[in-house]
Amino acid sequence: MSVTPRRRIRRAVWLGAVCVLAVTGAGLTGCGSEDPDAGTNGLGKLPADKIQAKAGAAAQAADTVRLHGTVEAGGNRYTLDMRLKADGGTGSVAAEGTTFGLLRVGEQLFLKADAGFWSHDGGDAKAADKLAGKYVKVPQSDPVYKKFSGFTDKDVLLDGLLTLHGTVKTDGRHERAGVRTVRITGDDGAGGSLDVSLEGTPYPLRLVRAGSAGTLSLSDWNKDFALEQPAKDDTLDYGKQLPSS
C-alpha cells in the first residue's frame, strides 16, 4: 500500500473519532448528522408565534377532532372524551363522581345518564328512574344547555382552549403517540404548553392549560364519525326545564 492511501485512511479514522467526541462530549450536530427537519412539515424552523398561528388555523379548518382529558372550568374539574364536528358532537363527561353522555345534533342537545346522576343531591327518585338511560332533550332555556353545550361545540371549545398566556416560545422537539412534535409554551410553561405535529398538517396534539387547569389530547383529526338523532324510543322530552339536580 502506498503512503498516500495510508494517510487517507488515518485521516478518515481521525475525523470519525473527532465527530464521535464532538457529538457525545459537546452535544454538537455537525459531522454529517441528519437535518432534524428532514421529513417534517418545516414547522420546527418557524418562530413560536407562527407555529401557534398555523396550529390554530389547522384546527379550525379540520372537519372533526377528538378531545380526551381534563378541563377545569367554573370551579369544577371535568374529564372529557368528546368527538366534535361543525354541526355537533358526542361523547362523555365525568364530574363530581358521576359520568354522563352528551349528544348535540344541530341545536338539539341531549343528556344521557343513570339514575344516580338524576337523583344527585336529593333529586326526585321517581323522576330519576324515568330519566335513567334515556337521551333527555335539554331545553335551550335550561341552564344545563348553556353549561354543557359548549363541550359539544368544536369551534367554541377550540377557540377557548388553544390559547397560551404570556410570552410564547419554542421548547424543543418531542413526540406524541409516535408522531414528532414541536412544543411551544407560554411564559416558560406557566402560561400553558402546546405540542404541534411536525408530520403532515400541523395539528395540535397535546395541550397543557395554564395554571394546572387541565391536560387534553387532541386526535382523530378529520376522521369522520356518525352524528345522528337518538331513536324516539330512547328519547325523553322532560319539558321546559330539567330537574334542578
Q: Residue 237 has what pLDDT?
A: 85
**Greater model confidence, 166 or 18:** 166
The DSSP code sequence of 118-181 is HTTTT--HHHHHHHTTSEEEEPTTSHHHHHHHGGG-HHHHHHHHS---SSEEEEEEEEETTEEE
Q: Which pLDDT tens digit goes with each residue over 6-16?
A: 555 455 544 45
Q: Residue 81 has what pLDDT?
A: 97
Q: Which pLDDT tens digit goes with each residue over 81-121?
A: 999 999 999 999 998 888 999 999 999 999 999 988 887 65
**Greater model confidence, 80 or 36:** 80
Q: Which pLDDT tens digit goes with each residue over 152-166?
A: 999 999 988 899 999
Q: Residue 227 has what pLDDT?
A: 95
Mean pLDDT of the chain: 85
Side chain identity, residue 157: L
Q: Residue 119 has what pLDDT?
A: 78
Q: Which pLDDT tens digit goes with each residue over 208-230?
A: 999 989 999 999 999 999 999 99
Side chain identity, residue 90: T
Confidence of residue 36 (pLDDT cuts 50, 70, 90): confident
Q: Residue 245 has what pLDDT?
A: 45
Q: Residues 195, 176: contact at Cβ < 8 Å?
A: yes
**Greater model confidence, 207 or 115:** 207
Q: Residue 29 has what pLDDT?
A: 44
Q: Which pLDDT tens digit goes with each residue over 46-55?
A: 999 999 999 9
